[in-house]
Structure 1
Amino acid sequence: MGNKTQFHVGDWVQGETWDKQRIYGYVVKIENPEDITKVYIMDSVNEELIGRMIRVLTKSLQPVLEQEPAEASLEQLIDMALLTKDEEWFEQLSAELRKLKKQYS
Structure 2
Amino acid sequence: MVENNLFKNGDWVQGKSRDGELIHGFVETVSDNREIVRVNVVESDNEKAVGKSIWIPSKWTEKLPDLEISNEAHLLALIDLALLSKDETWFMELSGKLESIKIHPKITARKSEVQIPGNRIAKLDFK
TM-score, normalised to structure 1, is 0.61
How far the C-alpha of 1:2 sits from its partner, in A, is 3.7
Larger Rg: 2
Q: Given residue 15 of structure 1, which amino acid in structure 2 is its aligned partner?
A: G
How far the C-alpha of 1:19 sits from its partner, in A, is 1.9
Matches of 1:50 and 1:5, distance apart in 2: 24
Matches of 1:28 and 1:43, distance apart in 2: 15
Percent identity between the two aligned chains: 31
Q: Greater share of strand residues, 1 or 2?
A: 1
Structure with more relative contact order (C-alpha pairs < 8 Å, separation 6 or more): 1
4+ aligned runs moved over 2 Å, structure 1: 65-69
Aligned-residue Cα RMSD (Å) equals 2.5
| Structure 2 match to 1:55 | 55
Q: Given residue 59 of structure 2, which amino acid in structure 1 is its aligned partner?
A: K
Q: Which runs of 5+ in 2 are unaligned?
A: 78-127
| Structure 2 match to 1:41 | 41
Residues paired across the two proteins, number: 74
Say whether the 8 Å CA contact 1:36–1:55 is kept in structure 2. Answer: yes
TM-score, normalised to structure 2, is 0.51
